[in-house]
């Protein structure tokens, strides 16, 4: 349920509405816009039906929310959610800037990580990605460096100033990963790991939530709802391709999901063209399509020597290819009214 207030509502009147909602046993979520303030009601809405909401001062109308996802719905926020990453004030996902996150699939060592961090930053990336814990289909494949990898990511952040995003796979890892990372990534295989979603919702770290291999858009938004319901409003959604009958690509990038999500939710929407295509030559075309469709950012795998990468080498870009991709991405971003978000001093 959403309470739409009258224009110019006084703070006292708004406080009384919030108090009224909370006295009925519900949680109030206030969203302020330039012209209107709305109050979202979370909980058993039937309790409010007996309390005469429309008779309260400052209430213009009451609108029921029929969608199963409440906090994630577009109705619950009068403005798009903009998420500030790390300690760098100008790294904001969900604003006018198109934010590119880039780095190796796995943290493999200090030298390669620092070199890759320098290279992607020089090309225009704003966030460093890298996996310290890796979910692999085979138990014999490289599983990541663990806490040692997290320490290297933190060192790379100190060196470059870029915020760090890395995956957390288990509720027991959340506290550890949150000590090092600026953004907690929930991988596709964990999209419906509800215990993990609830746990990351309890920490004050932005969350990058990837769509599951067979997850519907509604299921993705319901997964986001688990995080939001715990009080963490900084959730970014990531389309990374879904599994279809097509075998020419690793997954099928659902480009249509981008405008659908932008209509359904106020949360930022990112795209992972690396996992979608599964081949390096597909990354740039898919990235350009995502930007043209309205994505707020990209997350791309980059490696100094993809042929010898310990994971996902086939879909990783070399430094030069990433730089070329960024040049094209910048052109498309500007064509659709977005900035590429480069800092002063970065290479153009």
Residue intervals in the chain for CATH 3.20.20.70: 83-335
pLDDT at 346 over 50: no
Rounded mean pLDDT of the chain? 91
Q: Contact 277/286 with Cβ under 8 angstroms?
A: yes
Write down the pLDDT at residue 316. Answer: 97
Q: What is the pLDDT of residues 34-73, one digit of tens each?
A: 777 888 887 777 767 655 788 888 888 888 777 889 899 9
Domain covering 83-335 in this structure, CATH number: 3.20.20.70
Q: What is the pLDDT of residues 276-318, one digit of tens each?
A: 999 999 999 999 999 999 999 999 999 999 999 998 899 999 9
Phi then psi dihedrals of residue 144, to 5 deg: 100, 165
How far apart CA 226 and CA 141 sit, in angstroms, is 31
For Cα atoms 218, 294, 101, give the angle at the middle one, nearest 5 degrees.
90
For Cα atoms 301, 303, 308, give the angle at the middle one, nearest 5 degrees.
120
pLDDT at 27 over 90: no
How far apart CA 333 and CA 97 sit, in angstroms, is 9
Write down the pLDDT at residue 344. Answer: 44
Mean pLDDT of all residues in 204-230: 96
Write down the pLDDT at residue 6. Answer: 87
Q: Contact 144/133 with Cβ under 8 angstroms?
A: yes
Q: Contact 207/184 with Cβ under 8 angstroms?
A: yes
The residue with tokens 């075309």 is 285
Domain 2-64 has CATH 3.30.70.1140: yes
Write down the pLDDT at residue 124. Answer: 95
How far apart CA 232 and CA 204 sit, in angstroms, is 7
Residue intervals in the chain for CATH 3.30.70.1140: 2-64
Write down the pLDDT at residue 35. Answer: 74
DSSP state of 247: -
Instruction: Give the predicted TM-score (pTM) of the model.
Output: 0.88
How far apart CA 212 and CA 209 sit, in angstroms, is 9
Write down the pLDDT at residue 244. Answer: 94
Q: What are 245's two structure tokens?
A: 């009958």
Write down the pLDDT at residue 342. Answer: 53
More confident position, 342 or 167: 167
Nearest to 99 by CA among 127, 79, 76: 127
pLDDT at 203 over 80: yes
For the ranges 38-47, 201-210, 258-267, the lowest mean pLDDT is seen at 38-47
Q: How many CB atoms lie within 10 A of CB 137?
A: 6
């Amino acid at each position: 349920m959403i309470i739409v207030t009258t224009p110019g509502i006084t703070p006292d009147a708004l406080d009384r509405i919030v108090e009224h909602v909370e006295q009925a046993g519900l949680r109030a979520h206030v969203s302020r816009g330039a012209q209107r303030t709305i109050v979202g009601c979370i909980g058993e809405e039937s309790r409010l039906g007996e309390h005469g909401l429309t008779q309260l001062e400052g209430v213009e109308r009451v609108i029921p929310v029929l969608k199963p996802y409440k906090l994630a719905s577009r109705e619950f926020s009068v403005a798009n959610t903009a998420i500030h990453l790390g300690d760098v004030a100008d790294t904001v996902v969900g604003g006018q800037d198109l934010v590119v996150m880039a780095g190796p699939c796995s943290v493999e060592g200090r030298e390669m990580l620092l070199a890759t961090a320098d290279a992607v930053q020089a090309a225009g990336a704003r966030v460093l990605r890298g996996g310290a814990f890796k979910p692999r289909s085979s138990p014999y494949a490289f599983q990541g460096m663990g806490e040692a990898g997290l320490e290297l990511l933190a060192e790379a952040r100190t060196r470059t100033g870029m915020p760090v995003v890395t995956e957390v796979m288990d509720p027991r890892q959340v506290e550890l990963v949150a000590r090092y990372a600026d953004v907690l990534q929930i991988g596709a295989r964990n999209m419906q790991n509800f215990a993990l979603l609830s746990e990351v919702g309890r920490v004050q770290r932005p969350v990058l939530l990837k769509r599951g291999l067979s997850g519907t858009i509604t299921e993705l938004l319901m997964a986001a709802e688990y995080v939001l319901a715990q009080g963490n409003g900084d959730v970014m959604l990531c389309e990374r391709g879904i599994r279809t009958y097509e075998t020419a690509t690793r997954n099928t990038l659902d480009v249509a999901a981008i405008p659908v999500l932008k209509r359904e939710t106020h949360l930022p929407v990112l795209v992972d063209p690396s996992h979608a295509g599964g081949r390096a030559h597909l990354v740039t075309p898919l990235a350009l399509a995502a930007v043209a469709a309205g994505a707020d950012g990209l997350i791309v795998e980059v490696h100094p020597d993809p042929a010898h990468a310990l994971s996902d080498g086939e879909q990783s870009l070399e430094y030069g290819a990433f730089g070329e991709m960024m040049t094209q991405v910048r052109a498309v971003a500007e064509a659709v009214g977005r900035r590429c978000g480069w800092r002063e001093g970065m290479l153009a």
